[in-house]
Amino acid sequence: MENKSSTELITLGTAAGPAIRGRENGMASAVVVNNQFYMVDFGLGCVRSAHEAGLRGKDFKAGFITHLHSDHVAEFPAFLMWNWGAPVEGFAHPISIHGPGQDANHPLGTKLSGTRGLVDHTLEAFSYDLNIRVTDEARPVMSDLINPVEIALPQTSATEPFLVYEDDHVKVTAVLVDHPPVHPAFGFRFDTADGSITFSGDTAESATLAKLAYDTDILVHEAVNLEFFASRGFDAAFLNHQQQSHTTPEGAGRVATASGAKRLILSHLAGVATPAEWAAGAASTYAGPIDVATSGQRFSLVADTTYATI
């Protein structure tokens, strides 16, 4: 895997879900740093998109899950199976998967899976295949390699960024974002030697996210086209969810402006609009460069704060 700079963002998938309304893959991004990569979410199509981008499991370092809506984790099991072991240039080293714990606010919270349950149930569901490939193809035991980490919320306040992961290449911080009724839901920021990339996750317009994204080089922010859903007679409960749990392009622009983000990339596009329409909404509240992301698009982040779209 070759990079033109030491840090690169790849928007592997950019569509909200779980409905399929176009050609874009579901939500997934990769941050590539010094030829190692980190995944943010595992939506529909991420396996093929990652492969086509030249990403191989042998270079996979850690995964981060913003929240446990299915459109963000539906291909998590497939991502592991297709990127594991020497026959597919897959991971044979320990990896960590960081994401939400169980929802303490849900009446059935202790019976519903968090990130650890997602990993454990994946290993259980595919136990037959995993066992056969260990003995028949000399692959490593997957359960020995995967460390699920349920992100602990700060004892004081989750309105301030807090550390969730750090290695020689990146420091990852997070905040709780507003995506009711889902809890917890996170935004993530990756700081590297070349600069920073911040992901909103799914959220309503959030001042807390603006804190996380303060002076970030790239802000990847979700966007919803409320007019699309309103014009097609969706149920009132569904429309209320879109209004209360997501952000319009204008709102994404306000967050980018408040944070001082140097570049805004719109992703997790919910509903249908043209690229020009998505960008125009954000441009009404943000004066910096705006991209409307597509699946497989690459953004190089270099230390002099210039950017290249590949």
Euclidean distance between CA atoms 33 and 25, whole angstroms: 23
Question: Alpha carbon 210 to chain centroid distance?
Answer: 17
Give me the pLDDT at residue 258, please.
98
Q: Which token pair is 287?
A: 């004066």
Query: Among 77, 55, 68, 73, which Cα is nearest to 113's?
Result: 68
**How many angstroms separate the first and last alpha carbons of the chain?**
15
Q: What is the CA radius of gyration of the chain?
A: 19
* pLDDT averaged over every residue in the chain: 94
The residues, any chain, with a CB within 8 Å of residue 40's CB and separated by 6 or more, are 28, 29, 30, 31, 63, 64, 66, 188, 199
CATH second-level architecture of 7-303? Answer: 4-Layer Sandwich (3.60)
- Tens of pLDDT, residue by residue over 59-84, are 999 999 999 999 999 999 999 999 99
In the predicted structure, residue 4 carries a pLDDT above the cut 80? no
Euclidean distance between CA atoms 249 and 271, whole angstroms: 12
Domain boundaries, the chain: 7-303
Count CB atoms within 10 A of the CB of residue 31.
27
In the predicted structure, residue 1 carries a pLDDT above the cut 70? no
Q: pTM above 0.85?
A: yes
Give me the pLDDT at residue 233, please.
87
Query: Among 61, 273, 255, 163, which Cα is nearest to 265's?
Result: 255
- Tens of pLDDT, residue by residue over 189-201, are 999 999 999 999 9
Going by pLDDT thresholds of 50, 70 and 90, the confidence category of residue 155 is confident
Going by pLDDT thresholds of 50, 70 and 90, the confidence category of residue 158 is low
